[in-house]
Amino acid sequence: MSAKQTSPRPQSAADPYFPTHGDVRYHVHRYELTLDYRPAPNRLAGAARLTCLTGPDPLADVVLDFADFRITRVLVDGRTVRWTHRAGKLRLRPARPLRPGAAFTVEVHYSGNPRPVRSEWGTLGWEELEDGSLVASQPIGAPSWYPCNDRPADKAAYQMSITAPSPYAVVANGRLLTRTTRASSTTWVYEQPAPTASYLATVQVGQYQQLQISAGPVPQTVYAPARLIGSCVHDFAHQPAMMSLFVDLFGPYPFGEYAVVVTDEELDVPVEAQGLSTFGANHVDGRRGSERLVAHELAHQWFGNSVTVADWRHIWLNEGFAKYAEWLWSERSGGRDAAAHAAMAHAKLKALPQDLVLADPGRSLMFDDRLYQRGGLVLHALRGVLGEGPFFALFREWADAHRHAVVTTADFTSLAQHHSSRPLHAFFTEWLYVGTLPPLL
């Protein structure tokens, strides 16, 4: 695909891994969230305004994914409507069906104690911390804190206004427009105009200090507890160089800024959000012990956040590219080259079960470490097939042609074929659609 996509592609079927999440009959163009959060009682009061567009058929009801909050008011196009709220679904019924291709607005007012969604990967979404909160929603945690059309292909712009007690810093997606203090509370307003998947929306609340590590061309800021600021200065010192390398390899950074939040608690893994990543205190040791993860999360801004999977079957396009970016950073910064990383990963995978099909791993294996490693391996193997020039041209065109769009594995294999003088069907079949690990030539 050579033309840029600037809007989500139509999708006629539900996500096969999460068929009860999302509604393909309409598209959300913009979310405006007004939130008031009190950390001590873990109390969230919110108003969500969604600007939407119907699909090709009349819409008799509007279905949103939303957790168990107390709902006080629901409007469609400014009018009160009938609604039901059960089993994580908020169903709105306008007086008459909405016309095909029509713009409409939904407004939901709610309050309660946000709780994360429980899943086979642990808890997802809004998490109460010892002192503050974080949001890490991948893949289905977004409804834990706001009503949404929760599918990755339905990307929208966001504006968030978050009020919290003044000792707390609030970090959310996009550019900080205003920060206003009244009495003991401060309101932070953020704007993210780039299309954003629901799982990539985030709010982080904590008693953080701010550390600017690069003013431009992409502003880069770290928010961390005071006790960790010194370690952050050292551990994130290479991030501006990573940004420069990735811009050179992948093309322009797709957002206006990049923020890192380091919580005062341990996290299993860092988590990416749109224009922002969250690390645990355990990822900051003052020795750059997690530097590969710093590269991994930054690379997700291109691969996963700007170029977003149409559904979760294609998650290797997020994680394989971010894994290979780790190896490229190592190679270009004086560490092991990508070939050495690939050889180590291949040896590791050969000793493990051969039951993972990369292009469709199934819900239970979508976050399996083998997917990350094999995703990096297929890219390194492709580099050997294409050669240096065509391979990096493919990398850059992939990020550029699908900037702020949604993609499938077939999109990638088709584009790769345009950069190859030989047929790639057999290559991709054995690497992407067969469980047995091919040899690394």
| Per-residue pLDDT tens over the stretch 317-352 | 999 999 999 999 999 999 999 999 999 999 999 999
| Per-residue pLDDT tens over the stretch 27-41 | 999 999 999 999 999
| Per-residue pLDDT tens over the stretch 351-394 | 999 999 999 999 999 999 999 999 999 999 999 999 999 999 99
Q: What is the pLDDT of residue 12?
A: 58
3-state secondary structure 234-282: HHCCCHHHHHHHHHHHHCCCCCCCEEEEECCCCCCCCEEECCEEEECHH
Q: What is the pLDDT of residue 2?
A: 33
Q: What is the pLDDT of residue 8?
A: 43
Give me the chain's average pLDDT, please. 96
Asked if pLDDT for residue 1 goes beyond 90, the answer is no
Q: Give mean pLDDT, residues 81-100.
A: 97
Q: What is the pLDDT of residue 13?
A: 78
| Per-residue pLDDT tens over the stretch 181-193 | 999 999 999 999 9
3-state secondary structure the chain: CCCCCCCCCCCCCCCCCCCCCCCCCEEEEEEEEEEEEECCCCEEEEEEEEEEEECCCCECCEEEECCCCEEEEEEECCEECEEEEECCEEEEECCCCECCCCEEEEEEEEEECCCCEEECCEEEEEEEECCEEEEECCCCCHHHCCCECCCCCCCEEEEEEEEEECCCEEEECCEEEEEEEECCEEEEEEEEEEEECHHHCCEEEECCEEEEEECCCCCEEEEECHHHHHHHHHHCCCHHHHHHHHHHHHCCCCCCCEEEEECCCCCCCCEEECCEEEECHHHCCCCCCCHHHHHHHHHCCCECCCEEECCHHHCHHHHHHHHHHHHHHHHHCCCCCHHHHHHHHHHHHHCCCCCCCCCCCCHHHCCCHHHHHHHHHHHHHHHHHHCHHHHHHHHHHHHHHCCCCEECHHHHHHHHHHCCCCCCHHHHHHHHCCCCCCCCC
pLDDT band per the 50, 70, 90 thresholds, residue 215: confident
Q: Give mean pLDDT, residues 10-24.
A: 85
Q: What is the pLDDT of residue 110?
A: 98
Taking CA atoms, 129 is separated from 8, 216, 264, 433, in Å, by: 34, 32, 9, 41
Domains and CATH numbers, the chain: 1-203 (2.60.40.1730), 208-301 (3.30.2010.30), 308-432 (1.10.390.10)
Asked if pLDDT for residue 3 goes beyond 50, the answer is no
pLDDT band per the 50, 70, 90 thresholds, residue 137: very high
Asked if pLDDT for residue 6 goes beyond 60, the answer is no
Asked if pLDDT for residue 251 goes beyond 80, the answer is yes
